[in-house]
Amino acid sequence: MPHTKHRRLVAVAVAVTLGGTALAACGSDDDGEARSGPVSLTYWTWTPGMDKVVDLWNKGPGKEKQITVTVKKQASGDTLVTKILTAHKAGKAPDLVQAEYQALPTLVSNDALADISGEVDGAKDKFAEGVWQQTTLGTDAVYAVPQDIGPMMFYYRADLFEKYGLDVPATWEEFAETARALKKKSPQTDLTTFSANDSGLFAGLAQQAGAEWWTTEGEKWKVGIDDAATRKVAEFWGGLVKEGAVDNQPMYTPAWNKALNTGKQIAWVSAVWAPGTLTTAAPDTAGKWAMAPLPQWSEGENVTGSWGGSSTGVTTDSGNKDAAAEFAAWLNTDGEALNALAKESGIYPASTSAQTSGAFAEAPEYFSNQKDFWSKAAEIAGTTAPSAWGPNVNVAYTTFKDAFGAAAKNKSDFTAALRTMQDDTVADMEKQGFEVAE
């Protein structure tokens, strides 16, 4: 990796210095010049039904402003990131891209995303602080507008909690006690499972505990995956798996679905999108589940992690940065657009104004017994902790699945798996040419 690229990503993480200057100088309308004439924009996204949402823009505000947006459906995850970077190297990236929050540092480090802080200045107040922070990378720049989020929460079978005389745990210590109490009352029943297939779940739990996996120290990156907060999470879950208090099987398998549907597993640490998954995985238990805030590490705390979510960014290849940013802001803050995103795409909006209205005015059908589902979800979403992503999240996630997968299967030391995750992430960064502090 060229030294300038290394310096730029470090700068992005700590201040708008080298990075901000580089981005401001890249690809869009000439600063200070008013746009004139029709504009055509291309938007790469994986969200289902996005073409119907964009239609609202093209027939309404877009028509008035002579800004037309064309949706190009893409794959998600690392596949899309690679495609964006490949197109950008050729100077042919689209005007707008959908990007998961953890992908933003990689895109920014490759000069693929523009700083749109000047164009979306009024949007910040529409989002919770911890959510907005993910698109700024801790700087005064703004590299995307938040679209959807996945605040984490605790789901449980209310009827079976009552049957077994269990209380909803408010702390993780109480969570462990609940798991053990259930095992004593019903040895064949599990409170939940630790799934080593889900890197995002573990990252969200670490985020809630206060982890900062990537930070900077002067001109160097500092990797804190094996920090005290994350070790606490790893030791907690590793201990429960080792003693058999919770299951150690992966989620989203036929066996996991059956466990949820038959009451063999009676709780799930998940995110706001869980109702859709439960509808498919455990159809026979509709109306029997309830949702509560995630257990806390200390009594009286009120913080959650995030599992999933994405944003809308403007590329540095766009010749119409102001128009693209205007669309990105409309898509993720306008009431009509947000209602359409919920209806057509099934997303949970990052914008706080849409979290209890429109499509979210009534509880999900699966949770018809919990009338305050969405208002409670909105309260939880507002407590989302800040995150600290870095340039090689994909490597950290892959190592998690390998190392924690083996540890969960063998009921062995989770802290050793965490050290492997740390070491592999650092080694990859050094291989790429990043300077990494000890």
Higher pLDDT, 292 or 217: 292
Residue 37 pLDDT exceeds 90: no
Rounded mean pLDDT of the chain? 91
- Residue 143 near residue 123, CB atoms below 8 Å: no
- The pair of structure tokens assigned to 373 is 């589902």
Closest C-alpha among 223, 244, 225 to residue 234: 225
Residue 267 pLDDT exceeds 50: yes
User: Cα-flanking dihedrals φ and ψ of residue 100, to 5°?
Assistant: -65, 150
Q: How many alpha carbons lie under 13 Å from residue 297 in its C-beta half-sphere?
A: 15
- Residue 233 near residue 205, CB atoms below 8 Å: yes
Percent with pLDDT over 70 in the chain: 92
Q: Which of 7-16, 45-54, 201-210, 283-292 has the lowest average pLDDT? A: 7-16
Write the pLDDT tens digit of every residue in 208-225: 999 999 998 888 899 999
Residue 26 pLDDT exceeds 70: no
Residue with the two structure tokens 């090689």: 392
Distance CA 218, CA 215 (A): 10
Closest C-alpha among 184, 148, 181 to residue 167: 181
Closest C-alpha among 295, 290, 273 to residue 360: 273
Residue 3 pLDDT exceeds 50: no
pLDDT of 28 reads 37
Residue 159 pLDDT exceeds 80: yes
